[in-house]
């Protein structure tokens, strides 16, 4: 059984590592695996912030220099990122940040939905009322945000705690490792990202925006209505939203990504 505290959940790093002479500083360690994990985390963050853009050329030497490490941990990180489809390496053209298609993003969202739907089923079965009351507090924070960074932070905490309440260590650890990958893929698809950004209403800096979803999902969990919670979850994590963006993209560009449709 997972018994992760709120403090542990809040330890998720949403800030960049400190800089010295243009290099990121990490904890002292000789473990290449630890360095590789740090490099992966920071590169994913840079992709999400636009510091590394789709199609941009990168190299082991360049990344090792930026992060102040040898090429060995950078090589491990590159292999992991390539296995996740976030970077692409070809013999003659080298390594580039992946340029994803709308189909790639939709497929990734389907996988995330499948994992979280299982979390909903298990949380409805095993989470106590008190634990779901605590989840509601996270839901309230996630529904009331002041800027995009805070929004992502509280959204991460909510979804990780939802998976935690499944009481499945394997499911929780899977989501904890893969949530950043799920999230960043939409940033690596310019077609989806541009349309999505254009369709979302702009909010003035400093104002509070109410994003409906987290509290409704939690209320349904509290009522043990897993089917209705999963239906709302589908909309909340943007599987249907991605489908709508795909429809909009097709309308604008008259391109079909699947012959049989969605």
Q: Provide the pLDDT for residue 251.
A: 67
pLDDT 10s digit of each residue in the chain, 262 long? Answer: 333 344 444 443 333 333 344 444 443 344 667 889 999 999 999 998 889 999 999 999 999 999 999 999 999 999 999 999 999 999 888 999 999 988 898 889 899 999 999 999 999 999 999 999 999 999 998 888 666 677 788 889 999 999 999 999 999 999 999 999 998 998 898 877 766 565 555 555 555 555 668 999 999 999 999 999 999 998 887 665 666 666 666 666 554 444 444 3
Q: Provide the pLDDT for residue 49.
A: 87
Task: State the distance between the two ends of the chain, measured CA to CA, in whole angstroms.
Answer: 38
CA 158 to mean position of chain CA atoms: 12
Q: Provide the pLDDT for residue 22.
A: 41
218 exposed, middle or buried (CB, 10 Å; 0-12, 13-18, 19+)?
Answer: buried
Contact 135, 79 (CB under 8 A): no
Domains along the chain?
Answer: 19-97 (1.10.10.10), 102-253 (1.20.120.530)
The residue written with tokens 């190299």 in the block is: 59
């Amino acid at each position: 059984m997972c018994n992760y505290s709120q403090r542990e959940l809040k330890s998720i790093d949403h800030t960049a590592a400190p800089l010295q002479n243009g290099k990121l500083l990490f904890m002292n360690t000789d473990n290449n695996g630890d360095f590789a994990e740090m490099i992966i985390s920071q590169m994913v963050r840079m992709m999400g912030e636009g510091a590394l853009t789709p199609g941009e050329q990168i190299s082991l030497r360049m990344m090792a220099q930026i992060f102040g490490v040898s090429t060995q941990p950078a090589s491990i990180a590159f292999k992991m990122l390539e296995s996740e489809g976030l970077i692409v390496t070809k013999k003659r053209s080298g390594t580039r940040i992946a340029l994803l298609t709308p189909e790639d993003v939709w497929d990734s969202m389907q996988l995330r939905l499948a994992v979280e739907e299982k979390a909903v089923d298990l949380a409805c079965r095993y989470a106590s009322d008190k634990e779901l009351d605590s989840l509601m507090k996270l839901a309230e924070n996630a529904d009331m945000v002041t800027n995009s960074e805070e929004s992502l932070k509280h959204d991460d905490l909510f979804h990780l705690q939802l998976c935690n309440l499944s009481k499945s260590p394997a499911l929780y650890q899977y989501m904890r490792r893969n949530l950043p990958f799920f999230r960043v893929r939409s940033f690596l698809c310019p077609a989806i990202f541009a349309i999505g950004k254009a369709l979302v209403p702009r909010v003035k800096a400093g104002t509070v925006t109410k994003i409906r979803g987290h509290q409704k999902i939690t209320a349904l969990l509290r009522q043990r209505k897993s089917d209705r919670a999963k239906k709302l979850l589908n909309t909340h994590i943007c599987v249907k939203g991605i489908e709508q963006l795909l429809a909009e993209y097709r309308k604008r560009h008259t391109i079909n990504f699947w012959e049989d449709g969605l």
